[in-house]
Amino acid sequence: MQRRLFLGLGLAGLLPAAPRAAAPLQVMTSGAFTAPFEILAPRFTAETGHAITTIRGASMGAAPDALPNRLARGEAADVVILARGSLDGLVRAGLVRAGSERDLVHSAIAMAVRAGTPHPRIGTVEEFRQTLLNAASIGYSSSASGVYLSTELFARLGITEQMAGKARQFPRWVGREVANGVVELGFQQRSELLPIPGIEIVGPLPAPIQRVTTFSAGIGARAEQPEAALALIRFLASPAAHEVIRAAGLDPA
């Protein structure tokens, strides 16, 4: 009862209760925010009556289901949640309403190995570099974390050529490829690695080379329910959501 009251207070005043027959809110979200959203979305629905349809995709990249590509093809969304840089690009392109942007979380990149296998040392930049050189295979995502590794970090460490033959990009859950033995090391946002069974997170990238990404929300330019969309964004950014966000390996913005 106390928890129910707390959640109710968290949403109080955000939005009048909607008829159960109202069309679901269309929410596009990137993988980094998926874990907390799967918990928070039903709570929002329970308190407001607004059902939610969730569409998942990467924050960037050439994949057809990447969120910017979906919107560019004319798909509609009430709320879009993705890396801040990509969200800003959508605002400039007129696909997200200017002024509706709200930062939700900060997300760090982590490294995982298959459960039960040794944990390589990555506490310093040199240890991290040597671990990459020693690895037989490496996996990274097609979204923000993987773009950073493949286009910036490998070059910064001076190992671009060595990575070319053993580093592979995957469109979604890199942790699954690690668990299945497809690659030895996997890199992705920590929140996207945590839910995957069969892997162990070794730790975050060393601080000097870590890339913390802010994931933010905005209202789609073609949103059919902008008031409900705004209420959802406010709820996701409110203190009522912080406990769930932290449990998912993210830091509230």
Residues 205 and 217 in one domain: no
**Domain boundaries, position 177:** 109-209
- Average pLDDT of span 166-194: 94
- pLDDT of the residue at 95: 97
- Average pLDDT of span 148-153: 96
Residues 187 and 174 in one domain: yes
Instruction: Render pLDDT for 207-250 as a digit per residue (tens, 0 to 9).
Output: 999 999 999 999 999 999 999 999 999 999 999 999 999 999 99
Residues 195 and 217 in one domain: no
Q: Measure the CA–CA gap between 140 and 146, rounded to whole angstroms.
A: 5
Kind of pairing between the strands at 109-114 and 52-56:
unpaired
The answer to whether residues 228 and 50 touch, using CB atoms and an 8 Å cutoff, is yes
Instruction: Render pLDDT for 47-102 as a digit per residue (tens, 0 to 9).
Output: 999 999 999 988 888 888 889 999 999 999 999 999 999 999 999 999 999 999 99
Residues 126 and 203 in one domain: yes
CATH number of the domain bearing residue 194: 3.40.190.10
Residues 120 and 157 in one domain: yes
Query: How many domains does the chain contain in total?
Result: 2
Residues 54 and 96 in one domain: yes
Residues 125 and 176 in one domain: yes
What confidence category does residue 164 fall into, taking pLDDT thresholds of 50, 70 and 90? very high
Residues 238 and 181 in one domain: no
